[in-house]
Structure 1
Amino acid sequence: MLPDMAIVVVILISVYTDLRYRKIYNALLLPAFLLALLYHGSSGGLSGLLTSLQGTLLGLVLLFIPFVLGGMGAGDVKLLAVIGAWQGPQFVWFCFLCTALVGGLIAIVQLAKSGRLLTTFKMIILTFIPGMPKVNTFGTLATAKAGDAFPYGMAIAAGTLATYILR
């Protein structure tokens, strides 16, 4: 029960700050992470602590490549890691999958609204055809135009909610 409540609080605050300031703050995530370790270490001993750390590591690893490629901010990565710290690796894996689906749907809607959906799909398909020039026209968060990027904390929140519903 406490892990669920902690995640709800962290996600609500994260979504608010991500929407308002485009940031998910360490001042929220670090205490949430430390509390998760303390909770699982005291309630589950070494086994609980290790499960919490496994969830943290998996959450970090799953979003590390999109972060390195400039597709999301560090706060998004750390938020998924905190979710993993509270709920463990199995939960964070399904949360990641649900989040990816939600994030993909949001991206498709944004591309459709901007009239770039077909062009984007054509570029993606052309990258898989041998002999076609490979041009990175997708960019990063740093080069995104206003309205192109969206706060991924929303997708993480929706993915987490979907994971709770589906489990």
Structure 2
Amino acid sequence: MFSEFGSDMVAGVVFFSLLFAACWSDIMSRRVPNELVLLLAVGGIIYSMSGGAWFHGLLSGFAGLALGLLIWLPSWLLRLLGAGDVKLFAAAGAWLGPWGTVEAAIWAGLIGGLLSVAYLLRHRGIRGVVFTISALRIDPKGAIQRERDDPTRKSLPYSVALAAGAVIAAWFPRIMF
């Protein structure tokens, strides 16, 4: 998608920069600013419309945005992700279109799983990882609820995984499908 020199490369740098800024904010403050998400979404719609057939691009941009929202909305409803993470991915979907958004979500899920295991290992050790996975297998809803209610709980800035999935899908389109 952004692999050709010229305006596509410039758009790719803008896309990456906005995602990087959102991730940095999430890492530092556990918050993804709405202004940044709005800028990413508007930029994605404009980029989608710039391909020639502006109306088709407009539909593709909005379809990617809506699909990005729908894919991660259940995770927000279960309080597994923050609203900023979901909005960030939806805004990235405006750049990627529907197929790119699906591919990005798969990459993000894989990367997020790896980051989650690494995070658990770092903060809880191997026994903590085994305990958490066992608790999820025995009582998924209860384990998630106990985890949420723990005041000492540290959270993973999941925007990093979501942004990484979006960047992979944008810079290397269709390597999965």
TM-score after normalising by structure 2: 0.80
Q: Quote the Cα distance in structure 2 between the aligned partners of 1:54 and 1:39.
A: 14
Counterpart CA distance in 2 for 1:57 and 1:5 is 23
For 1:94, the equivalent position in structure 2 comes to 103
Kept in 1, the 8 Å contact 2:40–2:91? The answer is yes
- Calculate the aligned-residue CA RMSD, in Å: 2.3
The match for 1:72 among 72, 81, 84 is: 81
Task: After TM superposition, give the deviation of residue 29 of structure 1 in Å.
Answer: 1.2
Question: What is the CA-CA distance between 1:40 and the residue it aligns to?
Answer: 2.7
1:141 to 1:112, Cα distance in 2 relative to 1, 3 A: closer
**2:113 is equivalent to residue 104 of structure 1:** yes
Alpha-carbon distance change, 85 to 120 in structure 1, aligned in 2, over 3 angstroms: same
| Runs of 4+ that moved beyond 6 A | none
Q: CA deviation at 1:7?
A: 1.6
* Offset of residue 92 of structure 1: 1.1
**TM-score where L is the length of structure 1:** 0.84
Percent sequence identity over matched residues?
Answer: 25
Aligned pair partner of 2:161 in 152, 155, 158: 155
What per-residue deviation string (whole Å, max 9, x for no partner) do you get for residues 23-59 of structure 1?
Answer: 1111111122123223433543211100001100010
Matched letter for residue 131 of structure 2? T
The runs of 5 or more residues in structure 2 that have no matched partner are 1-7
1:118 and 2:118 correspond: no
Aligned partner letter, 2:109: A
Match of 1:38 in 2: 46
**Deviation for aligned residue 1:108:** 1.3
Query: How many positions carry a matched residue from both structures?
Result: 161
